[in-house]
Structure 1
């Protein structure tokens, strides 16, 4: 034991603050959330909380008419915003990797949306989407694309494209940065050899660059999915989950039940279900895209 402590004790001592932090601020809240989900616990109720077992879960899954719509909204939010971010980030990374003038400046400006606070970005885009004085309506009217103003954040059809566009604008710099790091590490000799052999730009991208970037795309996509699932500030700042529950996702539904209605039992059940659902999505993602990365 003395030898073991002498060999590894200092390393464990250095890890101790991190372990204590994870236990105190990660594991304990997680276990407490699962425990509270088994109780009827409302801060507005006069009596003590009572054990109800799985009643909160059954009520959400079978009686709550809004739950499954909100679950669909969550999938749309996560998968839609992640796909749109990649759609913007891949060409952006290729452009910023090429030898363009003032490349360093453009790379720096590209990071502005990512490092800006989410709430500030949400307020700015809310002004842009304003149905009466917003810049989007103004310029689309000037270009004769619309005849009358659109209430972007209150329209049943246009509200989700508006939200996904904002989320993509906020999140694509992170993916672009990761792809840029991958492009920097690629062998230029292989790409130049393909060019000498007659491969055009599209063939070099699809047959050489993209396969070599698969590990980075895989990890970045996984991080983006988890981050999009747990982040709801953008939706809360733009629509508050409305109108009604039209743009609510599970985190906003959790926030509403826990900190608006003060129903901590049902809010904890929503949080637990949300955790399980994102775990299922991650497992499916790993099974589908985690193979043949080498």
Structure 2
């Protein structure tokens, strides 16, 4: 009796493997290499430097100091907690203003306006303008003395007698910075919210109107729940980008007067490129990264709980 044996399984050829998976890996390779070289390696190197006393003045004397930099910042640095509060205020103020004003702008641009396409195009001008140019414009507007445009017109109409030094005033400097940040980031929020509004079926709004809901009730019970996922994504993106938005503050005030408008990214710049204390700068950058991750997690948890409550109703 003869027995049949299965033929030996031939190993998969490189050509077949490449056609199955290698092709896609080859397409993804440039992105992966870029992420490793430009994102993950600098991130890991920043964390590593934060545990050393590396400086530019004594590069050959770098030593591992463990958590000494963090202990000095959190316990001994008198400015750190002020700068931490500034950072929280800067982020929350900018994000809330961008979401609120962006929603209002999107609601207006969603109406049947004359030249609506023109207004939508003009809305994008702040977004596409370079950050440094934005800072120069706002510095010119709020510059102290009569050369500042705001001071000039306030003086001409008789509202003020003496020019206001907006960017050196403890009262006015933060409103100006938040206004500049909101002007720059509002188009991004308005664009995403406008896209979400256009995806809302008109039949839903018409049904609510036929049931007797007024405009405010329709917005609160129909439009706003529809916008919640978009507001979450927009808020999360704005939170991360605003947290590391370094250029506007530095170009307008250099973190001053004193350290009154310094945030953690400007503090990193101060340590790294003014004092050349790279180890301390790495520690501040690592703390900033951890804080923004915690804030993002808190926002995600709050949004998730809100959606669960809404789904259970």
Shared fold per TM-score greater than 0.5: yes
- The alignment's TM-score, normalised by the length of structure 2, stands at 0.90
Give the CA deviation at 1:13.
1.4
Which residues in structure 2 correspond to 1:83-94 (within 5 Å)? Answer: 83-94=96-107
Which residues in structure 2 correspond to 1:168-187 (within 5 Å)? Answer: 168-187=182-201
The farther-off stretch of 138-147 and 164-173 is 138-147
- Are residue 20 (structure 1) and residue 25 (structure 2) matched? no
Partner of residue 23, structure 2: 10
Give the CA deviation at 1:72.
0.4
- Are residue 82 (structure 1) and residue 114 (structure 2) matched? no
Cα deviation code 1:181-216 (max 9, x no counterpart) = 001111110101111222111111111001111000
Q: Is the 8 A contact 1:232 1:252 kept in 2?
A: yes
Pick the structure with greater CA Rg. Answer: 2
Q: Is the 8 A contact 1:218 1:290 kept in 2?
A: no
* Equivalenced residues, count: 294
Q: Which runs of 5+ in 1 are unaligned?
A: none
Match for residue 232 of structure 1 among 246, 251, 272: 246
What secondary structure does 1:272 align onto?
helix
> Over aligned residue pairs, what C-alpha RMSD do you find?
1.5
Q: Distance in 1 between the 2:25 and 2:50 partners?
A: 35
Q: Distance in 1 between the 2:49 and 2:164 partners?
A: 43
Q: Distance in 2 between the 1:276 and 1:251 partners?
A: 13
Match for residue 226 of structure 2 among 199, 205, 212: 212
Which residues in structure 2 correspond to 1:57-206 (within 5 Å)? Answer: 57-132=70-145, 133-206=147-220
Q: Distance in 2 between the 1:137 and 1:87 partners?
A: 28
Q: Distance in 2 between the 1:88 and 1:213 partners?
A: 14
Q: Distance in 1 between the 2:242 and 2:109 partners?
A: 25
Give the CA deviation at 1:5.
4.8
Give the CA deviation at 1:284.
0.7
Q: Distance in 2 between the 1:73 and 1:7 partners?
A: 52
What secondary structure does 2:262 align onto?
coil
- The alignment's TM-score, normalised by the length of structure 1, stands at 0.96
